[in-house]
Amino acid sequence: MQFKCNQTLPERAIHIALKGPDGKCQRGDGTGCFIANNVATTPGDMTERGCTYAGCRGVVGGPVKDAIQLTHGPIGCAFFSWGYRPHLADSDFHMKYTFVSDMNETNIVFGGEKKLLQSIIEASAEFPDAKAVFVYNTCSTALIGDDGRDVAKQAEAIIGKPVVFFECEGFRGVSQSMGHHVGNETIFRQLVGSIEPEGDFSRSINIIGDYNIKNDIRTFEYLFEALGLQIIARFTGNVSVDDLKIMHKAALNIVHCQRSATYIADMMKEKYGTPSINVTLWGIRNMAQALRAAAAFFGLETRAEEVIAHEVTRIQPYIDAYRQRLHGKRVFIYQGGPRVWHWIELLRELGMETETAATTFGHTDDYEKIFNQIPEGALVIDNPNVPEIEEILNRRRPDLFISGNKERYLAYKLGVPFVNGHTYDTGPYAGFVGMVNFARDIDKALHAPVWNILHQRARPAPATHHAAHGF
């Protein structure tokens, strides 16, 4: 069994695989080797990947709500990393403003250090309430050799608050995934542990790897709090600089996105001995399991069962109703990375099966988790480009495509029901109550009246005298 995309470069065959009858990976180049991932994009391939800067500024650093988010580079880098991802907080400073040193041609020729220093001083004077300045390096300023670390030190002495310099120049890694890593390391090195608060933190946790997309945290924070746990920091949805400084006090790290944020949990384990558990906060079984694992750590098992029972009783009638309408549908999920494997179980709880899976920047551990869960014959593709996605939608005809805004109109044009899994058109989708929203949006997409019109059109015309003669 082999699958080749016709509209693709021959080198891409190693990024395409089927799950064989023996449960093993069968790659598009005919070998049984595992799907190629986290490697440089094939030259000539119009990849949808982001850069290291995008992963650092857009994903990990950007949600910090009271830091000035300053890009050291051209205006375009700042503009295109601003405002697209709805990582919400209880204040909107981080979403409302973006800052940039605005490097132009002259600065590239003569160096941009002075301009960067000036930008930090100006921005911090303009917004005195900000708790820190986050400076993100870009390709252009890295290539000319600006010493941003030194400028950050000088600026810190002048403005009297942390200036955190992220060495996240775009070309540094093969995708945004490297930017997550740089973001984790830099925040850990420069902020975590810089304050030693007094108090009892024996029942405290950090929630690591949630970014509060469309208020996801509202669906699960109250559940951990209902167990009697105190949440110190979120990494990094709805987080403040001060929370990050004391996150080393937590008794347990709860790690949700295991692509973008395991790094900081690992560093905390090494330096402070903080234990961590990996969880999925989407879907009924996974959310319940996350609460049980957290409760088991603190000896709060009985309370966890009460909380779970209460929540499941609330949502079960809705889930049952949706399952009847969604049962048997075949899904194509394409996300950045872990959401693909986080959602396979959730979709099964709604009666649906994932038959095609793709990630933009998943690593081997993500693909292993995907392969373990998908059924035999399912297709997996790493870092697909638009012609490949188009071919998959046409040839495999999934009932539903869960993907992002970049693919939305392609799906609509090809007549495939679509749900936005990155930024959620409605949301939130996490936790127990979020799952009802997710099911509702899937149902709306699948049963939109427009499909009836399309299907009527697609029906072959009744045979007439003329038609029979080829008119």
Catalytic residues: 51, 54, 85, 180
From 338, 417, 427, 431, residue interacting with ligand CFM (rule: CB under 6 A)? 338
Choice between 98 and 124, CB closer to ligand CFM: 98
SS3 annotation, 29-85: CCCCCCCCCCCCCCCCCCCCCCCHHHHHHHHHHCCCCCEEEEEECCHHHHHCCCCCC
Residue 328 tokens read as: 């048997």
Distance (Å, rounded) from C-alpha 391 to C-alpha 353?
20
Q: Is 422 in the site for ligand CFM (CB under 6 A)?
A: yes
382: phi then psi, degrees, rounded to nearest 5: -95, 130
> Which region among 12-20, 147-155, 292-300, 330-338 touches ligand CFM (by CB under 6 A)?
330-338
Q: Is 344 in the site for ligand CFM (CB under 6 A)?
A: no
Q: Is 148 in the site for ligand CFM (CB under 6 A)?
A: no
Q: Is 213 in the site for ligand CFM (CB under 6 A)?
A: yes
From 27, 85, 94, 248, residue interacting with ligand CFM (rule: CB under 6 A)? 85
Q: Is 8 in the site for ligand CFM (CB under 6 A)?
A: no
210: three-class secondary structure by DSSP: strand
Distance (Å, rounded) from C-alpha 99 to C-alpha 152?
15
In the bound state, the residue with its beta carbon closest to ligand CFM is: 336
Please report the sign of the dihedral spanned by the C-alpha atoms of residue 145, residue 150, residue 151, residue 152.
positive
Instruction: Give the distance, in angstroms, between the CA of residue 204 and the centroid of all CA atoms in the same chain.
Output: 25
Q: Is 354 in the site for ligand CFM (CB under 6 A)?
A: no
Distance (Å, rounded) from C-alpha 213 to C-alpha 406?
17
225: three-class secondary structure by DSSP: helix
Choice between 137 and 175, CB closer to ligand CFM: 175
Closest contact distance (angstroms) between CB of 125 and ligand CFM is 32
> Which region among 131-139, 199-207, 323-331, 336-344 touches ligand CFM (by CB under 6 A)?
336-344
Amino acid at 326: L
> Which region among 1-9, 36-44, 217-225, 331-339 touches ligand CFM (by CB under 6 A)?
331-339
Distance (Å, rounded) from C-alpha 435 to C-alpha 315?
9
> Which region among 35-43, 333-341, 405-413, 428-436 touches ligand CFM (by CB under 6 A)?
333-341
From 3, 165, 166, 211, residue interacting with ligand CFM (rule: CB under 6 A)? 211
Binding site for ligand CFM (CB under 6 A): 55, 59, 85, 176, 211, 213, 257, 259-260, 335-339, 422
